Amino acid sequence: MADRIKSAFGPFTDARDVVAGQDLTGKVAIVTGGATGIGIETARALAEAGAEVVIAARKPDLAEAAVADIAKTAKGKVSWSMLDLSSFKSIRAFAERWGDRPLNLLINNAGVMACPLAYTEDGLEMQIGTNHFGHFLLSVLLAPNLVAGAKSGWGSRLVALSSIGHRRAPMNFDDPHFRSHPYEKWESYGQAKTANALFAVGFDKRFKDQGVRAFAVMPGGIFTPLQRHLPIEEQKAMGWLDDDGNPRAGFKTPQQGASTSVWAAVGAELDGTGGLYLEDLAQALPWTKDNPWTGVMRHALDPEAAERLWALSVETTGAGG
């Protein structure tokens, strides 16, 4: 990959260092799931650089605590707004409250991982329903706001958080909601993370000519509330934790895990590009068996699958056609 795009930073850079020296005053960002984990560190880094940041979250106590914490060092205004990505009603209400305000950055950070089989209030399997379809609806409803933000001359960006977990499964277009084949939590998660990457491809294709670019991000291995559904013994069996319960080498802190999202949002090296899968503050290399914990598989960037997923998402959400 001779023309691979890289930043000046290393994989374990703190998100604050990525944006250091930049002035984001006047820019507006939404971070879904911005109350905990890498979401709060993404919001913090952007706010400290002067951006107005709105945390979109479903738990008021966590959101209020996050706003109070970030506000201690923020240069930009920080607030929060209710958003439950497993509810189309909640998503539409969020977009209605947002109104016609221009938006520069939409960081689709929230997610659920490896949960037991469950369905959203709209009848969608919980992992793809929340991680992809919820974010799809939010993004297409806010697309006009991103376009308006791009007219400021700064450009607008959408960042969709994917994962190396995408290697576990491509999209199953025949049965995405596990209605006719047995549910397997990691297959479900893999499909959802593949969908996040494909969504960035589809969104970038549709809005790049209007000044909005989209990127998928693999943040790295980070211990956050995302692991809430995984028993410690399972995490040890997967090699994430050693026998003493300590993270294996290579795991990042939440501050380090937020760095690729922040670079995707503001990195000048990415100007004029889009639809890419980013990892460790660089464009990801193709996945190989020799290095299975990094890289991107072809099925996560397949333009035909991206179009098929977009059509399914329009049908499912009733938006974005």
Supply the residues annotated as catalytic.
189
Residue with tokens 């795991």: 251
Residue 10's CB is within 10 A of a number of other CB atoms, namely: 12
Rg (Cα) of the chain, in Å, rounded? 18
The secondary structure of 206-256 as a DSSP string is HHGGGTEEEEEEE---B-SGGGGGS-HHHHHHTTSB-TTSPBPTT-B-HHH
Specify whether the CB–CB gap between 133 and 319 falls below 8 A. Answer: no
The continuous run of DSSP H or E covering 105 comes out as: strand 105-108
Question: Which residues are bridge partners to 222 per DSSP?
Answer: 252
Tell how far CA 150 is from the center of its chain: 20
Nearest to 6 by CA among 291, 301, 268, 297: 268
**Furthest CA-CA distance within the chain:** 53
